[in-house]
A and B are shown apart, each in its own frame.
Chain A
Amino acid sequence: MITRTAFAAVLFAAAGAAAAADLTVEVADIRVQSGQLKLAVVDSADGWDGKAKAVAGEALTPTGATATFRFKDLPPGTYAVQVMHDENGNGKLDTNFVGMPTEGYGFSNNPRVMRKPTWDEARFELGAYGTTVAVQLR
């Protein structure tokens, strides 16, 4: 189990301590302990669709079947999380000739769809007292 503090806190320092919350993401079902687990936090549909920057991001090397990411001092609001497991460390989520992923990935809310979930399917509320989100890698 590895815990890291995200750099995102810096971006939102202006939000002030009173309006800042911690987001904890617990990632489960990590199938192999190699490569990099990469997590992005977004706060809008545009962010989800890659049209706006992620508000936080972090990468770590998995050492077990689970890993925990912690992002401190985010403004309360609506967020969504994407995780990918770059198992061979080549910097991308590998796919086959029809685009089927061969490496692990997951999303907040764990939507049971065989496509990238929509922002609405993946978004969750981060309250003033923080939230823990469980992402099951598939």
Chain B
Amino acid sequence: MNRRRFLRDLLSGAAALACTPALLRAATGNDVATGFATGLRRHPWMAGWKNMDAESLGPTAATLRGRWPKGLAGTLYRNGPARFERDGFRYSHWFDGDGMVHAWRVGERGVSHRARMVATPKYTREQAAGRFLYPAVGTTVPDARAIRNNDDANVANTSVAVIGGRLFALWEGGSAFELEPDSLVTRGPTTWREDLALAPFSAHPLRDRDGSWWNFGSISLLGGAGLLVWHLGADGRLLGATQLATEQHGYLHSFAMTDRHLVFMLMPFRFSEAGAFFERMHFAPDLPCRVAVVPKSAPDTARWFDVDFAAVYHFGDAFERDGEIHVRAVRHTDPAGASSPMAATMRGEREPAPTSGQLRTLRLDLRSGRARWQTHADHVMEFPLFDPRTPGDRPARLYAPTAVTPDVPYFNAVMSFDPERDRRQLHRYGDRVLAEEHVFVPRPGSRKPGQGWLVGTLLDADRGRSGLAVLDAEHVDDGPLAEAWLPYTFPLGFHGAFAGV
């Protein structure tokens, strides 16, 4: 199985429409748009999922509150789905929106913001046509055209990476799109080596201590077999692209690494017949996850572990101690919800407060070959980050948005969390302020892990403003040292990266 699976799935939704009344489908998409418009009027915080018509925003000077920390200067780049609607049709899946990349330039002289849609072939052609033309990963698009290859469906909407001074907008099913770091104008898809054109370059590359970068691409989603393991130099040149065979298919969004190993966790799923990729993919909690522990010295080899099913998008740190690998992971207990997060909000309907997304540690015993999950306190969280300077045999402190009030079904606080001792520091931004990923930025000249700042983005829809907060990572409960607010709002994003000056 698996031959051309991803693309076939992308297309099969459209193919199924040939025998489905097209008008019915169109009405569904229009209903989603109408429903969301109603929801947004009732619940201003739904602006986090609103449609972005504009091709670009700014540059705009933000209004500063507090005292900007000396030494914190550079650019926070972020990416997220933003174009959800065209011609009255609204995607019903959050992951479908075309990517918009943001650049927050920060320093003692002020904070400014600009953003631009990534000019993928999909976005560019749909912009010209005035309607969605191509299949999406989570929504069945009526009358979608056949695509040439996976990059025709690439929305470059998940994350950003700055590698060797080059800025990339990342997705998980296709090429990295390079952007001009200052203007954010799209340069185009990146081909690291000619035969690797179109090869998936996932959204969570990890930087090693020597400055090189590791990443993977899921070839099985593309019709081949296994994983492609990428290794790039600190200068962004390709050091290696290795195919790692996998015995069975499995979904993975990101990975973790220790000083010696890469850890890939494949989540089992079953496919149903019709629909877009995420409509068809159903996690199979009755089957174990297969975990590959891959030596960095031989990335075409793996030691395989089985562990009880868990739906995980994001991992925190990983470390090796006493012959055991510990991998921090945010586990979701609702597999259906995990394959379409914020699905009700995308339709403008009230979402139950999040109860899923707890930290667990995946423990892989290299001597016995056994794997198990270690439980921690049940704080609801996502998008965990950490200081990569943490030694490779020690757990890192995690920094993550967390939920504290059921008023709004999203995160409205940030925490610094030590799962070993179950100690956390928390800052609440306010019941109706949405808090996003907080990126750790080391303080220049510091050496101790954890010395630095958290830079996180916020949406305060009641006051019609998107913003950014800076906290001392060692004193999160003191609240922001400074905040910067814009006179406008835009949809929430997923992931960011900080590039110092």
Contacts and interface: CB of A to CB of B under 8 A. Distances in A.
A114 B147 contact: yes
Interface stretch (A37-45, A49-57, A97-105, A123-131): A97-105
A114 B197 contact: no
Interface centre among A100, A102, A104, A113, by most chain B C-beta atoms within 10 angstroms, is A100
Contact of B223 (A99, A104, A105): A99
13 contacts: A96-B196, A96-B198, A97-B199, A98-B219, A99-B223, A100-B197, A100-B223, A101-B148, A112-B144, A113-B8, A138-B145, A138-B147, A138-B152
B197 A113 contact: no
Interface string B193-210: 001111100000000000
B148 A105 contact: yes
Nearest to A138: B148
Given A112-B18, A114-B10, A102 B197 contact: yes
Interface of B: 4, 7-8, 10-11, 14-15, 18, 144-150, 152, 195-199, 219, 222-224
Given A96-B196, A96-B197, A114-B11, 12 more contacts: A100-B149, A100-B222, A100-B223, A102-B198, A110-B145, A112-B145, A113-B11, A113-B15, A114-B147, A136-B146, A138-B145, A138-B146
Interface of A: 96-102, 104-105, 110-115, 136, 138
A46 B224 CA distance: 27
The 7 lowest CB-CB distance pairs between A and B, nearest first, are: A114-B7, A98-B224, A138-B148, A96-B197, A97-B195, A114-B11, A100-B149
A130 to B, nearest CB: 26
A98 B148 contact: no
Contacts of B146: 110-114, 136, 138
Nearest to B4: A114
Contacts of A111: 15, 146
B199 A96 contact: yes
Contacts, number: 60
Q: Tell me what chain A mostly uses at the interface: helix, strand, loop, or mixed.
A: loop
Contacts of B152: 138
Nearest to A110: B146
B195 A114 contact: no
B290 to A, nearest CB: 21
Given A112-B14, A112-B15, A115-B8, A98 B147 contact: no
A100 B145 contact: no
B230 to A, nearest CB: 13
A26 to B, nearest CB: 16
Contact of A98 (B10, B15, B223): B223
A97 B196 contact: yes
A111 B219 CA distance: 24
A98 B222 contact: yes
A113 B146 CA distance: 7
A111 B15 CA distance: 8
Contacts of B199: 96-98
A101 B223 CA distance: 12
Contacts of B147: 114, 138
B14 A115 contact: no
Nearest to B225: A98
B273 to A, nearest CB: 15
A114 B153 CA distance: 12
B197 to A, nearest CB: 5
